[in-house]
Amino acid sequence: MLQAYIRTAVTILSAVALLGCARMYNSGETALDKNWGRSFESAKHGQILNPDAWKNPAPVAGIVGPAGEIAMEWYLKSYVDPNTSKGRRKSTISAVTIQP
């Protein structure tokens, strides 16, 4: 009877060990695989858009165009009716958090 319990326990432990190791090598596409080469492509397109960027080492000031337009629109609307932004949730556009 004891041998049957030991044999069952060893079988279950072996199955769990094999199933645990099986997923380790076949994990599919990782986050690194999905973004492979994205930094290179971004730098390449930046150099295509502005090949003389190296002449001006100053950091870029400002925010993305559409985000800036929306932020300014909401900012100007807040002067017309200052109560328009109360009770609304914040929206995030690009790296800027603004209130609708």
Which helix (H) or strand (E) is 11 found in, with range?
helix 2-25
- The number of beta carbons lying within 10 Å of the beta carbon of residue 98 is 19
Instruction: Report the distance separating Cα 50 and Cα 39, nearest Å.
Output: 17
Q: Measured between alpha carbons, how far is 61 from 68 in angstroms, rounded to an integer?
A: 12
Sorted by where each begins, the domain ranges of the chain are 63-100
Say if residue 68 is exposed, middle or buried (CB neighbours under 10 Å; 0-12, 13-18, 19+): middle
Q: The pTM is what?
A: 0.32
Question: With pLDDT > 70 as the criterion, what percentage of the chain qualifies?
Answer: 74
Express each pLDDT in 41-79 by its tens digit: 988 998 898 888 888 888 777 777 788 888 888 888 887
